[in-house]
Amino acid sequence: MVCVCNATYCDTLDPVVLPALGTYVKYESSKAGKRLERSEGSFQRSLHAPGLLLTLNVSTMYQHVKGFGGSLSDAAALNILGLSRPAQDNLLRSYFSESGIEYNLIRLPMACSDFSVRPYSYDDVPHDYELKHFRLAEEDLKMKIPLLHRASAMSRRPLSLYASPWTSPAWMKSNGDVRGKGTLKGQPGDKYHKTWANYFIKFLDEYAKHNVTFWAVTAQNEPLAALLTPPQFPTIAFTAAQQRDFVVHDLGPALARSPHHTRLIILDDQRIHLPHWAKVVLGNATAAHYVAGMGVHWYLDGIVPASCSLEATHKLFPDHFLLYTEACSGFITLRFSVSLGCWERGDRYSHSILTVLNHFVAGWTDWNLALDLEGGPNWVKNYVDSPVIVDSTKDVFYKQPMFYHLGHFSKFIPEGSRRVGLHSSRRCLICQLEHVAILRPDGALVLVVLNR
């Protein structure tokens, strides 16, 4: 099931209109081909329900929702801009406008990630501790910043941007290379760590000159990435204790001193590291003061249950949010990274989002907004899938089941919503229903149900 979009055609949705009292609006997607198909109905007064009965309890309130979205990597930007201007607009509208699924979160790599066409940093002049030679790249100036302005202009909701670094300049790293695994030279509090913290501020300064502001930064993308990634993968390794000390001595104070009201997110890695990582970092009162929340990647979710990682962390640190910051299908597959029209990959997205929302997570961010038919470009050949696949040779893009699954959450659950109580009349082992109930700021209730 895909929708084929081009310069003149793309499926659209109507803006959400709240139902009249006593009625409901239903949106349905299915493997058979329904794509957020809208219908209406009325509530019945009788309480006799022969099947499963779900009862919402709005007096039981849980976490606030931050939102849903995807990542504007270099690869995503390249693929979007590889289309004709009208097709680009259709793609951006699909994600950000009222006629689309209304994303409000955008994650942005700070300089290169593996989803770039080349490894690079913003300051390749050795020993430039003053960062006098710090410059944004062509990828920022010609691709990402213009696309952010266009997405923002299309969006009815305010967009929250957050940035994540993969690697520092080579001269700050122990391995002397932007590529591959290394640690930051020296110790927290020294000139390397101070310079690296100021690199974050320079990034925020330069983007601000282009009228782009960031809600948050993460301290490091996958600080323990060495566990999963190809040898050339650009990364800086941190232990939890090293991240705590970097936050306490360098990054926390630098952000606090800066003119930017940018929040700080730690971890940005797999939930197998929770609650340990949170205990080490947030167990320090100074670090906890600087940190707003924890970022989580979905790749090893099958190894550790949500209750003993996410929920356990929330119980220990209820004032720090949990946010899913990266997820994608097609990673480490032996057969094919991109699987056009694969319903099961969409199904896994919904299953993940429902599970984590029910365990105190505040939002969910997909990885690349758009990739090509190979699942790239990616300079370490770490190809994966995306909800939108672009074929620039035909000037078309394909909206996959993952796109519509995400839309069941992003379009209907705006920032500021809250999860509320939901009780099932019986545990139905054969029906495999998963669900979450959300109260929106406008007082409307949203119930999302996945039938697996």
Question: Which residues are part of the catalytic machinery?
Answer: 222, 326
411 with 419: CB under 8 angstroms? no
Q: Is 17 helix (H, G, I), strand (E, B) or coil?
A: coil
| CA end-to-end span of the chain | 16
Q: Alpha-carbon distance 192 to 49, whole Å?
A: 65
List phi, psi (to 5°) of 5: -115, 150
Q: Alpha-carbon distance 329 to 148, whole Å?
A: 25
The two structure tokens encoding residue 406 = 């995400």
DSSP 3-state helix, strand, coil percentages of the chain (rounded to 5)?
30, 25, 45
271 with 361: CB under 8 angstroms? no
Helix (H) or strand (E) holding 162: strand 160-165
DSSP 191-209: HHHHHHHHHHHHHHHHHHH
List phi, psi (to 5°) of 14: -80, 155
The two structure tokens encoding residue 343 = 């319903």
132 residue type, one letter = K
The two structure tokens encoding residue 161 = 């941007």
448 with 409: CB under 8 angstroms? yes
The conformational region for residue 211 under phi > 0 = left, psi -120 to 50 = alpha, else beta, is left
Helix (H) or strand (E) holding 74: helix 74-81
Question: Over the range 102-116, which residues count as b (16 or more CB within 10 Å of their CB) and which as e?
Answer: bbbbbbbbbbbbbbb
Question: Over the range 147-178, which residues count as b (16 or more CB within 10 Å of their CB) and which as e?
Answer: bbebbbebbebebbbbbbbbbbbbbbbeeeeb
Q: Alpha-carbon distance 178 to 336, whole Å?
A: 28
Residue 5's closest CA among 434, 428, 394?
394
